[in-house]
Amino acid sequence: MIFGRKGRKRFLEAVAGFEAAVREKDGERSQRAVREIQECYADATDDEFHEAGPRLAALLPQVPPGPSGLIAVLIGACVERGADATDCAPHIFDGLAEALGAAGEFCARWEATGGGEMPEPDSVDEEALQRVGQDAAVGWCTLPQWEMASVAMLNHPAVRTGPGAARRTDLLRALHPVQEASGHDFKCLHYALLVLDDEPLIVLHRPTGTGYALRMSGIGDNFQLHTLLADALVGGGHVPGHAPSAQEVAVCRDAPGQVPTTGSFNLATPGGEWVWNEGTPSDIPVVDGVRLLVLDPPPYARGWPAGRFFPGMAGDLVLERVLDRAETGRWLEHCAPAN
C-alpha cells in the first residue's frame, strides 16, 4: 500500500514535470518526464487519470510532431481510465489532422521519387527518410499512434455527437487519399469515424412482408448490427429465425468478450446488393432521408463471434415501432424484386 501511494503521487508529479519541461522547451527533460509517466502509470488512480488527461492534451500543440504521437497514446490511455474525452478530443483531432496531412505528403513524395511498395509505418528506414523528408516521414510513422488515440476519443458518444462532430467528415476526407495512395488500411480509425448515433433505420423483412422502424447508436460493424437486429426482430417474436441468446446480445451492447452466434438474415440494399457483415451501418443507403435495409433469407449458414468491433464502445439498437401494412408497402416500392 505504501508503494502504491508513492507510485500514485509520482504519476502527477511526472505529469507536472513534463508540463514544466515542455514550457521550457527542454527536450531531454521532457523525455525523462515521459519515461517517468510511463513507469508510474500502473500505480495511478482513476481520479489522477481524470486530471492528467486534459493537462497532457493541452500540451499537445507545444510538443514536436514525433513525440506528440506517444503523448497522444498516453492521453488515450487516460481517457480509457476516466479522463474527460470531450476535453481531450479537440487536441487529439488537431494532431490527427496534422499527421494525416504529413502522411499524405509522404505518399505523394514516395510516388514522385519512384514509387514502389511503401514501407509500413513502423519500418521506415534511412533510405525512405531521404526520399520523403523528415516531416512527412514523421507523419506517416506516427499515424498508428494517432489512430489509437483517436479511437479512444471516439468510443465516447459525447465526442461523436458533440459540437466537434463535424470534424469527423474532414478527418474522413483526409484519411481516404492516404489509404488509397498507401494501400495501408487504417481500419479502426476509418470505422470509428463512420459510427452513426441516434440514426433512424427502416428495416423490411421481405419473407414476411413486414417493416420496422428502429434507431441505432454506437454500432461498429454489421456483424454487431446483424445480431442486434436478430434480437429485436426474432427475439421480439416479429419474424422467424435464430434468436440470439442473452449473452450474445449483451456482448454486442456493452458486456466484454465474444461468444459464437448464427446469422438469421441476408442484409441487402433496396437495389438488391448485399450489405456485407464486414462493413459498417454507414453502408446502408439512405432513401427519402432514412437508411433503408432489406432482410432476405440467408443463402447459407453463417456463424461468427458475436461482439463489438470496438470493445470500448457501447452499442444500441432500439425497435421504435412496427410499421403498418400500408407504410411497409410504400417502403417496399423502393425495392427491387427479390433475386
Q: What tens digit of pLDDT does each residue of 124-143 get?
A: 888 888 889 999 999 999 99
Which pTM was predicted? Answer: 0.93
CB-based contact 102:141 (threshold 8 Å): no
CA 74/CA 51 separation, integer angstroms:
13
Angle CA 111–115–120, to nearest 5: 95
Handedness of CA 191, 194, 198, 204 (dihedral sign): negative
DSSP for 226-264 reads: HHHHHHHHTTTTSS-SPPPPHHHHHHHHT-SS-EEEE--
pLDDT at res. 51: 96
Cell numbers 478530443 label which residue?
A: 89
Please compute the mean of the pLDDT values over residues 240-269 and round it to a whole number: 96
Please compute the mean of the pLDDT values over residues 64-78 and round it to a whole number: 95
Q: In this structure, what C-alpha cell is assigned to residue 279?
A: 462493413
Per DSSP, which regions of the chain are E strands? 199-205, 210-217, 259-262, 266-268, 286-287, 290-296, 303-306, 316-322
How many residues belong to the chain?
339
Helices and strands counted in the chain (H then E) = 13, 8
pLDDT at res. 124: 86
Phi, psi of 213, deg, nearest 5: -105, 120
- Provide the mean pLDDT of the chain: 93
Residue 6 has pLDDT above 60, yes or no: no
CA 20/CA 135 separation, integer angstroms:
25
Q: What is the pLDDT of residues 195-242, one digit of tens each?
A: 999 999 999 999 999 999 999 999 999 999 999 999 999 999 999 998
CA 144/CA 185 separation, integer angstroms:
11
Residue 4 has pLDDT above 70, yes or no: no
* CA neighbor of 133 nearest in space, from 108, 100, 98: 108
Phi, psi of 156, deg, nearest 5: -100, 125
CB-side neighbour CA atoms (13 Å) of 268 = 23
Q: In this structure, what C-alpha cell is assigned to residue 31?
A: 523525455
CB-based contact 269:179 (threshold 8 Å): no
pLDDT at res. 9: 61
